[in-house]
Structure 1
Amino acid sequence: MMRCEADAGEKGLLSRLREGDRHAFQTVYQRHKISIAAAIYRMVKDPELVEDLLQEVFIRLWEHRQRIDPGLPVGGYLHRIAQNLVCDFFRKLSRDKKMQDQVWTRIQPSAISVGERMEDREQQELIHAAINLLPPKRREVYILCKFESKSYEEVSLMLNINMSTVNDHIYKANQFLKKYLATRIVYLLLVGISHIGQVV
């Protein structure tokens, strides 16, 4: 973490913030909101969640303003708050099935145009690695339905299996992928957290 001294203008601003000056708080918010939001987005890939976490970052800043050291850049302090909030979110995700379902909805291949909307190469590789762990027939059915947009009826005819079997393959594939990704995506995204404090 950079520990260079804050410039004279920022020192005064932070001193006023420590004393409860709301105008100083708004100035800090305007100066840093974009960089903090961008850092959070790189990890969570969810604009709505970014908005919630960004708001919480600055709530924490105001609530703990007396901890601010006016001699140090406030950007680093804000990034540490953001880092802690994102870590807390993904720890909660690893324990909360409802949250896992929400993340799954955002990342499952049927909800994206593969190779177009997938902004994070590592997440894309993780999804494909998970799909490759499926049994061969289940993987084939899943790819045809989710990546090639084939209907269950089309897949049934192509593979000479009944539609209930297609449905069973999709259901079991989704259950496996959800469980697999729910644990591994937490690790993948937390890896990136170590970089958040470097962008100040």
Structure 2
Amino acid sequence: MNVEHIWAEYRASLQAFLRKNVSNAADVDDLLQEVLIKTYTHMKTIKDPTQIKSWLFQVANNAIIDFYRKQGREAALESGELWYVQDEETIPTQLANCISPFIQALPQDEAEMLTAIEINGETQKNYAEKHGVKYSTLKSRVHKSREKLLGLYQECCDFTLDSQGNLMEYKQKPNACNKC
């Protein structure tokens, strides 16, 4: 098995395979060169010469995968590169500042439960097991406590929702609350 002979036989089909999966011609050339280098350095590991074609295409496929992975890591955007700039806090972020005082306004057992689940991220299942409560019972308690929490928000603010129920805007009611 000679690298020059193998490369002469399979170069064109490897290049076509790479072109099919990568649009930039310069990147295709780079990947083709990478496959050639791997062929040269690892050809000794191929025991069966009849498997050379499948091995070459596997090397090319792995090179494509690595290429896109590398591109994905390098594509992490900086805030200056974004086409928009989010100058102000979003509505949910603004309302999140009020969640702790509202939770603390609930009865102590409900406040502890919602703090553990909503603030600290504990799963409902885990919380139920730790406190010796049936999971279905806890789900019901969490639902009722969330409704009470929503009621506290609604006592304090008027909300505008879109047709899908997404929060569009809110206005604090004058003299309605002093929680946040």
Give your verdict on TM over 0.5. Answer: no
Greater RCO (Cα-Cα under 8 Å, separation 6 or more): 1
TM-score, length of structure 2 as denominator length: 0.41
Larger relative helix fraction: 1
TM-score, length of structure 1 as denominator length: 0.37
Larger relative strand fraction: 2
